[in-house]
Chains A and B, each alone.
Chain A
Amino acid sequence: GDSVTQMEGPVTLSEEAFLTINCTYTATGYPSLFWYVQYPGEGLQLLLKATKADDKGSNKGFEATYRKETTSFHLEKGSVQVSDSAVYFCALRTNTGNQFYFGTGTSLTVIP
């Protein structure tokens, strides 16, 4: 079945460090891929998305490229800030259904 696997955390980085959070997926057809962010005590917010192969989603300095050949959608940021501390979820939506499939989340803490 369809699924998303993302790297386990927690991840702790110093401010201005480079961030990569790995995400791979299993799906039939051509899913849409998403990254969501959850700040402490809040709901999930859409961070970025890509709807077809080779698309790059970007927002707030974060980027992720839809790689069909490696079934991946890794999240990257060149220089993290303390305010980026949150839990990040990778998700896919199949092109045939109404359901999303979420990864288990990766907790990021950025220290000054």
Chain B
Amino acid sequence: NAGVTQTPKFQVLKTGQSMTLQCAQDMNHNSMYWYRQDPGMGLRLIYYSASEGTTDKGEVPNGYNVSRLNKREFSLRLESAAPSQTSVYFCASSERLYGYTFGSGTRLTVV
């Protein structure tokens, strides 16, 4: 089925470890996004990519980096994980006139 695929679904990291969250979409969308979801805070934008080759900071970019590898793939990297980065991470893609399509999320715990 067409959509947004995120991997992994679950991850536990120790403080200071690094990891990359992968996201791929097969809908030929130009724009892709990374959000984090925390209780009582809704969704907060970390980074987005309006088109292949461009990335921009969102509301909460500190501690993260992103790569728009090609039109399909948009990865999120934590270089040195901290407990404050414990969250559920969602990738999404969209075309200008339409809504987002979200992945199923990555539940990350940093201990």
Contact = CB atoms under 8 A, between A and B. Distances in A.
A102 interface: yes
Interface in B82-108: 90, 92, 94, 96-97, 99-105
A49 B90 contact: no
Nearest to B102: A43
A98 B54 CA distance: 13
B104 A43 contact: yes
Contact of A43 (B50, B99, B105): B105
Interface residues of A, number: 20
Interface string A1-38: 00000000000000000000000000000001010100
A45 B102 contact: yes
B105 A104 contact: no
18 contacts: A32-B97, A34-B99, A42-B104, A43-B4, A43-B103, A43-B104, A43-B105, A44-B102, A45-B102, A49-B99, A89-B42, A91-B99, A98-B31, A98-B48, A98-B96, A99-B58, A100-B33, A100-B94
Across chains A and B, which 4 residue pairs bring their CB atoms closest together, nearest first? A104-B42, A43-B102, A102-B43, A46-B99
